[in-house]
Amino acid sequence: MKLPITSLCLLLCLHLAHAQEVVLKGIVTQSGSGGPLGGVVVTASGGAGTAITNDLGQYEISLTDGYENVTFSLEGYVSKTVFVGGKTQLDVSLKAKNSNEDVSVGFGSQSKSELTSSVSTITTDDVSPSPLINLEQSNQGKTTGMFVQNSSGKLGQGTKVRIRGGSSLSASNQPLYVVDGVPLTSGNQSNINPTNIAKIEILKDASAAAMYGSRAANGVILITTKSGGNGGISIDADYQYTMGQTPKKLDLYGPDEYNLQTIEYTLRSLSQDQYITRERLEQWQSSGSSTINLPDGSTVTMPAFYSELNNDTDWQDEVFRKANSHRANLSLQGGTEKLGFFSSLSYTTQEGILVGNKYNRFNAATSIDSKISDRISANLNLNYFYSKDFRLQEDQDLGAPLQAIVLPPSDTYDENNNFQLKVRSLEYNPLTEVNFSDNLGYNNSLVGSLGLKFDLSDALTFDVNGGLDYNNFRDELRQGPETRDGALSGRSQLGTSQLTNYIFNGWFTFAPEPAGDSKFSAVLGGSYQESNTTSTFRVSNVNSIDQLERLSPDDPILTTIDIPGQASVFVSSFGRLNYSLKDRYIFQVSGRMDGSSKFGEANRYGFFPAASGGWNVSNEPFLQDAGPLNFLKVKASYGLVGNTPQDDFLYRTNYFRMRYGQQDGIRLANLANTNLKWETTAQLDLGLDFGFLEDRISGSVNYYKKTTTDLLFPVPVSQTSGFASVLKNVGTMENTGYEFNLSTVNVESGTFSWSTDFNISFNENLVTDLNGANLIVGVNAFLEDQPAGVFYMRKYAGVNTATGEALYETEGGGTTTDWESAPRMVVGDPNPDYFGGLTNSLKFGNFDLSFMFQFVGGADLYWETGEFLANNGILNLNQTVDQADRWYAVGDEAPYPALNPFQENTFPSTRWLQDGSYIRLKTLTFTYNIPEAVTSNWGLNYMSIYIGGTNLLTFTEYEGYDPDVSYFDPLDGIVGQNISRGIDNFTAPQPKIFMTGIKIGL
């Protein structure tokens, strides 16, 4: 009842105030950071008066009747004009002009005009209201130099993020994520509630990333979560409903075509090839008879099951569904001058588009800023989350739902008989797995930090902060007696892992008052970070996790796997010096010295320095009246950053524990490599930032070259050592690229505005040296003088018209039917040549429309699914319709080989290699902001409703479900993940999502 009463009071006040002169009060803050802005000129229309905000951003201005426009303006900020509409309190936030925004750079921030390094910023306005709950996904296509690729459309799956190309072969290629000052080792950035994120900064070049030294080779992503305001309390709430579905259905055989294939399969298995033609097969199939009369008068009887293949099942409909999801957020922000706070709760429940897949997450976050005294301030950030993931089997496993698409369409299943197929009962129906197993992942995590800032003098501050990244995982898999793996007794397995990563930072910032034309500042500090992981795994043939957990450690039916813990320490000192002269010439030197426990004593320390310079050309006197040009800066940087191996303790000999019979034993895990050291990336960056027409047109161009040396690589060794390969620092790799972005404000009038952001990045990756070694995993390879993960396989060369066998290209350009003897060749590149995005935002009165296209070009994909789903029916699985166009009889000129079970033509070849380029309407949002006059009547600050969608349109020539795919088998480890690029193996597509939602503030 509180709300209506408040509104009533408000109405009453308004009414009373109407006739006489009114006083308008409020606070002006900075958009994004929320800090107060002093010196803002507040002007009322009609010459009623002006006012200037004080240091706390407060103002007070007299108006004639409270029904006029008020304009807020400040140098370096975009002016704002607001219709007062009878209010007496009006808080506004001003957006800094492009060139003047503060950018976090790690242990401090710099204004954009002072920045000499390459940093991209994504602010919160850009993030919501996307329905994607994973931070990486929601930033796909948003900025230059950051390539985001989804591994799968299953919920809770990983997302690949590559900043300016991967820089490693066997260590991680993911950027370092730093949440509120805490460098994560848990990978939990994906679980931060995207609506809580105030801003994301991507440190791309060495100059920016050198502050994170040995872990910065893949770029650094700084995530700043929302913090308290000062001023009144505001409450924001939003709710969103989405409905997802598969973006596409593949065109597969119907029952008739499948049965025709079954006839051919049977005849060829019996070596009755000579009479087969497409025409005859059609006749035999349409006759409906189980007895085939061959032209020579003999007959062939089809196997008994054939006559029962009379059902019609669309297996895609059986495994795809319309997926309903809900998300609700509630946040509270407020505070006083001394104490600001922000608090939020969020709950998300998502269904996957494949049956059985579901994801629930609860987020809670709190942030407190406190000014303890004039000289001491403190801040606390806590992000907690709990998620429960109803998972599916790995894509290549027979129990994965999408595997159902190869099942016979003329068969069906019996729900009352464990979903077994009625006719082909030996084929495994994934629905059995979905219905009789529980595959659950629990994540219970906290990312938090506590910082204190001491103003030692006006020029010198000292910051200390401590952070924690805690992560508790629990993976449960129960497979009932009805399933294949759990057959007869059931099978349960339980894996747990607990990661504790904590950090302690301290640093001084010295920024004296500028002396004359020169401005100087310095940062110098130290850091200690320790990360510990312990894991357990147990499995047994019992039919419940409870029962599994109750088994005593020495129960003979229990298998436990002894997993050694992991631990690492980084001890570091870092510093940065900035000097600028006349606001035109800017220099920065930064560096970090890291000590890491991951290496042997001789190689523990690494020094990663960087230097950069910038020239604000537009501040030169000769450019003061340069017409439309208002901002121009050129900058250059060069520096070193590093990368460490994923595993700890590789420098020393390690053993596993195991058991043989009833005896305990140990087994060598690796041989000591005392020479192991950092991978080092030297990076050159040249950039140009510009702004025209008061930043109505702004943008930047960047060129970079990254050279990584001492690449850690599993070098094959004589196996008489007991090992197939050992990790050594041997290789070098280069990434070269250009980035371009352009933001334009196309129209800006009182009621209509339209702005456009465009970005495109080109990257070329090349492994330049592997010391003569190579690594081939499946169809991907690391080869010298080729891009990392290049497609390396046999070239498909069509069909032998006489025999129907598949042909493969030989060395000399000829063809052979012998797959094994055909050489593997470099045939494609899974790494994109370019990628980017185009966003348009339109505002018309109370309506907002924004839509973003995202694109990837020049990336090849290997549709591994095709080895089964488009293999001319050689295993008598269901096929894509084009496979009917196969070779049937001598002389047929067909694109696909014969269905001949005695021929081996389903081995990997370019037959399934495809262009994976695409353009996609990634997001579309249409918002209606209910007029303030109405919402204030309801006692609300604002209220908006929106509809929209994600992945609504995709333009691609790719034949599979979705070109945004890169499946890897988690069992392959980090090297497998790095090398397996562009693989689609029964991988779930990204859903097409329709959404609607409401946002309320009070």
Partner 1 sequence: MQTFRKTLLKLIVPVMLMTGIVLTSCESLLDIDAENTISGEVLKDDASIEEALVGAYYNLMGIYDGANGGELLGGDFKLIPTLLTRRNNNEISWDDVNAPTYTNFIDKDILRTNIRVEANWRRAYEVLNTVNNVLANIDKVSDANLKNRLEGEALAIRGILYFEMVRLWGPQYMDANLSTPTIPLLTEPITEIAEIKTPELATLQAVYTQVETDLNRASTLLQSFGTNGTNISYYAVTAYQMRVALQKLDWEAAEDHANTIISSGEFALAATPLLAFNNNSNSTEDILAVQQTFANTTGDRSTGTGLVNHFSSLTESGIGTMRILEFSFYSSFVANSPQFSDNDIRSFVDEDVDETTRAQDITTAFYTNVLNTSTISSSKFMSADKVIPVIRLAEIHLSRAEAIFEQTETIESTALADLNAIRTRAGLNALEVSDFNGDPYAFYDSLVLERNREFLFEGIIFHDLKRWKAYGLDVRITSNDPLDNKFILPIPQAELDTWD
- Supply the DSSP string of 327-386, one letter for each residue: EEEEEEEEE-SSEEEEEEEEEEEEE-SBTT-EEEEEEEEEEEEEE-SSSEEEEEEEEEEE
Q: Which of residues 698-717 bind partner 1 (CB under 8 A)?
A: 716-717
Contact between 629 and partner 1 (CB under 8 A)? no
- Cα–Cα distance, 40 to 93 (Å, whole number): 11
Single out the residue of 52, 658, 747, 881 in contact with partner 1 (rule: CB under 8 A): 658
Q: Are strands 176-179 and 220-225 parallel, antiparallel or unpaired?
A: parallel
Helix 255-269 to helix 278-287 angle (10° resolution) is 110
Nearer to partner 1, 330 or 551 (CB): 551
Evaluate whether 123 touches 198 at the Cβ level (below 8 Å).
yes
Contact between 674 and partner 1 (CB under 8 A)? yes
Nearer to partner 1, 316 or 472 (CB): 472
Contact between 673 and partner 1 (CB under 8 A)? yes
- Cα–Cα distance, 172 to 804 (Å, whole number): 45
Q: With CB under 8 A, what is the number of residues at the site for partner 1? A: 82
Nearer to partner 1, 504 or 955 (CB): 504
SS3 245: strand
Contact between 452 and partner 1 (CB under 8 A)? no
Radius of gyration of the chain (CA): 32
Contact between 511 and partner 1 (CB under 8 A)? no
Contact between 607 and partner 1 (CB under 8 A)? no
CB of 867 to partner 1, least distance (A): 12
* DSSP designation for 165: S
Contact between 438 and partner 1 (CB under 8 A)? no
CB of 613 to partner 1, least distance (A): 22
Judged by CB under 8 A, the stretch of 157-165, 443-451, 526-534, 951-959 that binds partner 1 is 526-534
CB of 494 to partner 1, least distance (A): 14
CB of 567 to partner 1, least distance (A): 4
Nearer to partner 1, 139 or 543 (CB): 543
Burial bucket for residue 600 (CB in 10 Å: 0-12, 13-18, 19+): middle
Judged by CB under 8 A, the stretch of 197-205, 216-224, 669-677, 798-806 that binds partner 1 is 669-677
Contact between 682 and partner 1 (CB under 8 A)? no
Contact between 322 and partner 1 (CB under 8 A)? no
Q: Which of residues 720-749 bind partner 1 (CB under 8 A)?
A: 720-724, 726, 728
Judged by CB under 8 A, the stretch of 58-66, 275-283, 621-629, 665-673 that binds partner 1 is 665-673
Contact between 249 and partner 1 (CB under 8 A)? no
Single out the residue of 17, 56, 82, 563 in contact with partner 1 (rule: CB under 8 A): 563
- Cα–Cα distance, 92 to 72 (Å, whole number): 8
CB of 462 to partner 1, least distance (A): 8
Residue written as token pair 């009246």: 625
CB of 64 to partner 1, least distance (A): 53
* DSSP designation for 886: B
Judged by CB under 8 A, the stretch of 363-371, 661-669, 831-839, 972-980 that binds partner 1 is 661-669
Nearer to partner 1, 239 or 510 (CB): 510
Contact between 824 and partner 1 (CB under 8 A)? no
Single out the residue of 411, 648, 860, 932 in contact with partner 1 (rule: CB under 8 A): 648
Burial per residue of 675-704, b for 16 or more beta-carbon CB atoms within 10 angstroms, e otherwise: ebbbbbbbbbbbbebbbbeebbbbbbbbbb
CB of 520 to partner 1, least distance (A): 8
Q: Which of residues 348-377 bind partner 1 (CB under 8 A)?
A: none
| Secondary structure of 184-244 in HEC code, one letter for each residue | CCCCHHHHCCHHHEEEEEEECCHHHHHHHHHHCCCCEEEEEECCCCCEEEEEEEEEEEEEE
CB of 599 to partner 1, least distance (A): 9
- Cα–Cα distance, 233 to 332 (Å, whole number): 7
Q: H or E segment at 446?
A: strand 437-455
Nearer to partner 1, 485 or 848 (CB): 485
Nearer to partner 1, 665 or 814 (CB): 665
Single out the residue of 20, 89, 552, 663 in contact with partner 1 (rule: CB under 8 A): 663
Neighbours of 90 (CB within 10 A): 21
- Cα–Cα distance, 138 to 146 (Å, whole number): 12
Cβ-based neighbours of 806, under 8 Å, separated by 6 or more: 796, 798, 799, 800, 817, 819, 897, 903, 905, 909, 911
Single out the residue of 5, 372, 666, 881 in contact with partner 1 (rule: CB under 8 A): 666
Judged by CB under 8 A, the stretch of 58-66, 402-410, 563-571, 689-697 that binds partner 1 is 563-571
* 870-899 footprint of partner 1 as x/- string (CB under 8 A): -----x------------------------
Evaluate whether 228 touches 332 at the Cβ level (below 8 Å).
no
Which among 21, 61, 67 has a CA at the least distance from the CA of 40?
61
Judged by CB under 8 A, the stretch of 217-225, 334-342, 581-589, 673-681 that binds partner 1 is 673-681
Single out the residue of 295, 515, 624, 813 in contact with partner 1 (rule: CB under 8 A): 515
Can you name the residues that pair with 416 across neighbouring β-strands?
none
Contact between 573 and partner 1 (CB under 8 A)? yes
- Cα–Cα distance, 424 to 607 (Å, whole number): 64
CB of 733 to partner 1, least distance (A): 22
Contact between 459 and partner 1 (CB under 8 A)? yes
Single out the residue of 634, 672, 686, 945 in contact with partner 1 (rule: CB under 8 A): 672
Can you name the residues that pair with 860 across neighbouring β-strands?
915
Q: How far is CA 475 from CA 543, 545, 901, in A?
A: 16, 10, 40
Which amino acid does the sequence have at 317?
A: D
Single out the residue of 374, 625, 664, 893 in contact with partner 1 (rule: CB under 8 A): 664
Neighbours of 18 (CB within 10 A): 12
- Cα–Cα distance, 445 to 748 (Å, whole number): 45
SS3 580: strand
Contact between 304 and partner 1 (CB under 8 A)? no
- Give the helix ranges, DSSP H, for 581-633: none
Contact between 473 and partner 1 (CB under 8 A)? no
CB of 438 to partner 1, least distance (A): 16
Nearer to partner 1, 60 or 555 (CB): 555
Judged by CB under 8 A, the stretch of 49-57, 321-329, 562-570, 890-898 that binds partner 1 is 562-570
Single out the residue of 46, 271, 550, 655 in contact with partner 1 (rule: CB under 8 A): 655
- Cα–Cα distance, 568 to 645 (Å, whole number): 11
Judged by CB under 8 A, the stretch of 102-110, 148-156, 552-560, 921-929 that binds partner 1 is 552-560
* 477-496 footprint of partner 1 as x/- string (CB under 8 A): --------x-xxx-------
* 586-605 footprint of partner 1 as x/- string (CB under 8 A): -------x-xxx------x-
